Amino acid sequence: MLIKKAPDIASSEITPERLYVRRREFLRAAGIGVAAVATGVVGGRRPAEAGQTGQDLAITTKMVTTGDEKVTPFDDITTYNNYYEFGTGKDDPARNAGNFKPKPWSVKVGGECAKPGEYTLEDILRPHPIEERVYRMRCVEAWSMVIPWAGFPLGDLLKRFEPNGNAKFVEFETVMRPAEMPGQRRQILPWPYREGLRMDEAMHPLAIMAVGLYGKTLPNQNGAPMRLIVPWKYGFKGVKSIVTINFVREQPLNTWQQMDSNEYGFYSNVNPSVDHPRWSQASERRIGEFFKRPTQMFNGYADQVASLYDGMDLRRNF
Ligand SMILES: Nc1nc2c(c(=O)[nH]1)N[C@H]1C(S)=C(S)[C@@H](COP(=O)(O)O)O[C@H]1N2
Ligand SMILES: [Mo]
């Protein structure tokens, strides 16, 4: 593959400390616990060992957004997955993702921005301190987990590409590798898997690009080397193994909406009062627990994100 040399990313584009502090104030005001941890590399710039799964990550900050809810065990997070590129069974990704190679990796950035190009994963990760964030993950299938992701704010990355005024949405695609991904040899979904966000959603401080979990780089079945996490939306917005980022003018069509637009919409915000046509979304089963628990509006993140949707009919824009 011919790799176009991307324009260098200037150090002035690295997230200013000021912005970082503002984000922490925002999260504190929202009642979210933030703690700096002494890892010996606080504020450090040590990048993730790009693409090697199970490597230790240097975490600079820890944030818990789930109160005293129990964190889901590592074994459940890494063996009960949705990743149709590796099969449709929950245990298929863990069994079939062993031959997937998340290294070397590069991401093609394009569309309405000043800095399009092909960036290596190392280029992408270099300026971003890795934070641990414990988020609820609510699958549209009405089960949920609590996951200690490692990653960095998606907005900090997107800003580096200098999206212009025409960039109203951002679109992401998963890698296309039928030789390593058995599910892609069958027309289970229209490949490659695609997802999108409105720009203000993408810039929201809770949206992250995840590169690890439980303090280590991502296992293949969880989307190595880099995947999206948008905790107030259903899990399917969290597109895995990202190779394309496009800034676009029009609302993009995501894979599940393309599959059936009566069942899956663009916004896909967790909403207990808007049922899926085939099942209720009012409650969920936390993996590892027997009794169901009520699902919370915006997955419990309403205080932080509800204002993004002021004046919108969330029944129509599901
Ligand atoms: N490329 C790709 N990304 C994907 C999926 C998929 O099938 N392919 N499944 C989605 C769904 S439905 C969910 S619930 C989450 C699951 O993430 P996890 O397996 O890390 O828990 O990944 C999302 N991202
Ligand atoms: Mo899901």
Question: How far is the C-alpha of 182 from the C-alpha of 283, rounded, in Å?
Answer: 33
CA dist list (Å): 299 to 158, 242, 257, 305, 317:
24, 24, 20, 10, 17
The pLDDT mean for the chain works out to: 90
Tell me, in angstroms, the distance from the centre of ligand 1 to residue 187's CA.
Answer: 17
Q: Are 267 and 282 in contact (CB under 8 A)?
A: no
Tell me the sheet residues that pair with 119.
107
By residue range, what is the domain housing residue 47?
Answer: 11-309
pLDDT digits (tens, 9 = 90+) for 17-47: 444 556 666 677 677 788 876 554 444 444 4
The DSSP element (H or E) to which 33 belongs, if any, is: strand 33-36
Q: Are 225 and 192 in contact (CB under 8 A)?
A: no
Question: How far is the C-alpha of 297 from the C-alpha of 272, rounded, in Å?
Answer: 6
Report the SS3 class of residue 111: strand
Ion ligand 2 residue ranges (Cβ < 5 Å): 82, 139-140, 235-236
Could you tell me where the DSSP H helices lie in the chain? Answer: 17-29, 74-79, 92-96, 121-125, 154-160, 199-202, 255-259, 302-305
Query: CB within 6 Å of ligand 1 — which residues?
Result: 81-85, 137, 139, 174, 193, 222-223, 235-236, 238-240
First-to-last C-alpha distance (Å) of the chain: 39
Q: Are 158 and 83 in contact (CB under 8 A)?
A: no
At 52, which CATH number?
Answer: 3.90.420.10
What is the model's pLDDT at position 192? 98
Is 69 part of a structural domain of the chain? Answer: yes
- 189 Cα nearest atom in ligand 1: 7
Q: How many domains does the chain have?
A: 1
What letter does residue 47 receive in the DSSP assignment?
Answer: P
pTM of the entire predicted model = 0.90
Q: What is the mean pLDDT of residues 151-177?
A: 98
Tell me, in angstroms, the distance from the centre of ligand 1 to residue 62's CA.
Answer: 24
Cβ count near 104 (within 10 Å): 12
Is 2 part of a structural domain of the chain? Answer: no
What is the model's pLDDT at position 3? 44
pLDDT digits (tens, 9 = 90+) for 241-268: 999 999 999 999 999 999 999 999 999 9
Cβ count near 151 (within 10 Å): 27
Tell me, in angstroms, the distance from the centre of ligand 2 to residue 224's CA.
Answer: 17
What is the model's pLDDT at position 21? 53
Q: Are 147 and 63 in contact (CB under 8 A)?
A: no
Q: What is the mean pLDDT of residues 154-162?
A: 98
From edge to edge, which strands make up the β-sheet containing 169-174? Answer: 117-120, 106-111, 242-248, 169-174, 194-198
* Per-residue pLDDT at 2 exceeds 50: no
pLDDT digits (tens, 9 = 90+) for 76-132: 999 999 999 999 999 999 999 999 999 999 999 999 999 999 999 999 999 999 999
Is 39 part of a structural domain of the chain? Answer: yes
Nearest residue (by CA) to ligand 1, atom 6, is 83
Nearest residue (by CA) to ligand 1, atom 20, is 222
Is 150 part of a structural domain of the chain? Answer: yes
pLDDT digits (tens, 9 = 90+) for 168-191: 999 999 999 999 999 999 999 999
What is the model's pLDDT at position 253? 98
What is the model's pLDDT at position 65? 98
Is 147 part of a structural domain of the chain? Answer: yes
What is the model's pLDDT at position 56? 95
- 181 or 16: which leads in pLDDT: 181
Phi/psi at 112 (5° precision): -80, 75
Residue type, 239: V
Tell which residue, 6, 11, 132, 116, has the closest CA to residue 60.
132
Tell me, in angstroms, the distance from the centre of ligand 1 to residue 306's CA.
Answer: 24
Question: How would residue 318 be classed by pLDDT, with cut points 50, 70 and 90?
Answer: very high
Q: Are 122 and 106 in contact (CB under 8 A)?
A: no
Is 1 part of a structural domain of the chain? Answer: no
Is 6 part of a structural domain of the chain? Answer: no
Query: What count of residues does the chain have?
Result: 318
Is 316 part of a structural domain of the chain? Answer: no
Question: How far is the C-alpha of 282 from the C-alpha of 193, rounded, in Å?
Answer: 27
Q: Are 223 and 83 in contact (CB under 8 A)?
A: yes
> CB within 8 A of 77, min separation 6: which ones?
145, 147, 213, 214, 222
What is the model's pLDDT at position 106? 98
Residue type, 217: T
